[in-house]
A and B are shown apart, each in its own frame.
Chain A
Amino acid sequence: QSVLTQPPSTSGTPGQRVSISCSGSRSNVGTNTVYWYQQLPGTAPKLLIYGNGRRPSGVPDRFSASKSGTSVSLAISGLRSEDEADYYCVTWDDSLNGYVFGTGTTVTVL
Chain B
Amino acid sequence: QVQLIQSGAEVRKPGASVKVSCKVSGSSVTEASLHWVRQAPGKGLEWMGFFDPEDGQTVYAHEFQGRLTVTEDTSTDTAYMELTTLRSEDTALYFCAMIIQYEIFDLWGQGTLVTVSS
Contacts and interface: CB of A to CB of B under 8 A. Distances in A.
Contacts of B105: 45, 47, 90
B47 A98 contact: yes
Given A90-B45, A98-B49, A44 B108 contact: yes
A103 interface: yes
A90 B37 CA distance: 12
Question: Chain A binding site: helix, strand, loop or mixed by DSSP?
Answer: strand
B106 interface: yes
B110 A99 contact: no
Given A98-B49, A99-B47, A104-B45, A47 B59 contact: no
B46 interface: yes
Contact of A2 (B44, B49, B62): B44
| Interface size band for A | 20 to 34
B102 A56 contact: yes
B55 interface: no
Nearest to A91: B104
Interface string A62-104: 0000000000000000000000000010100000111111111
Interface of A: 2, 33, 35, 37, 39, 44-45, 47, 50-51, 56, 88, 90, 96-104
